[in-house]
């Protein structure tokens, strides 16, 4: 179940900090940084942030995105699973994406990720389902071990 992230802000921050300086944070941030999301009480209506709650009211993930209402574009997706392989996360995110598409009637959706992210297969399938495009930029990020990573950009026009 998705609930407003503000209700779980401290718990989300504590969970994210556990992953500091790991590949998980690299895949989430898309860079070597370790910045926590800004979860604020007052929203301008463009940023949506959710705690993903599983059985027993347990925090199992964090999901966020932004909408540019003028251009009807959804972007800046952020997804972090604290409970790996929990299918509730996928189902809840999928329901929210359906709401974005069918309820908000957006025109365009875009998101980025670092190649090698474990969810790449799911992103590929989602993009293919909606006849989207996948672009791969080569050697965009150099990690702490000196290895280069590609960046992937997905785009769907509805």
Percent of the residues in the chain that have a pLDDT greater than 90, as a whole number: 74
Question: In this model, does residue 124 exceed pLDDT 90?
Answer: yes
pLDDT for residue 152: 96
pTM, 2 dp: 0.89
- Rounded to whole angstroms, the Cα distance separating 39 from 5 reads 7
- The predicted pLDDT at position 20 comes to 82
28-52 tens-digit pLDDT: 777 667 778 889 877 788 999 999 9
| CA pair distance 32, 55, nearest whole angstrom | 33
Return the SS3 of 102.
helix
Sequence-distant (≥ 6) Cβ neighbours of residue 51 within 8 angstroms: 2, 3, 4, 5, 7, 8, 11, 12, 59, 61, 62
CB 48 within 8 A of CB 65: yes
> 124 with 155: CB under 8 angstroms?
no
């Amino acid at each position: 179940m998705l609930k407003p992230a503000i209700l779980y802000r401290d718990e989300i921050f504590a969970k994210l900090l556990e992953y500091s300086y790991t590949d998980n944070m690299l895949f989430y941030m898309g860079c070597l940084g370790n910045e926590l999301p800004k979860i604020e009480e007052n929203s301008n209506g463009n940023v949506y942030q959710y705690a993903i709650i599983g059985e027993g009211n347990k925090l199992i993930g964090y999901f966020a995105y932004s909408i540019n209402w003028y251009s009807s574009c959804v972007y800046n997706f952020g997804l972090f699973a604290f409970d790996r392989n929990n299918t509730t996360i996928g189902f809840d995110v999928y329901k929210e994406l359906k709401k974005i598409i069918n309820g908000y009637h957006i025109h365009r959706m875009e998101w980025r990720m670092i190649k090698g992210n474990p969810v790449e297969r799911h992103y590929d399938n989602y993009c293919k389902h909606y006849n989207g495009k996948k672009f791969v930029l080569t050697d965009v990020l150099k990690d702490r071990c000196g290895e280069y990573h590609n960046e992937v950009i997905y785009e769907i026009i509805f």
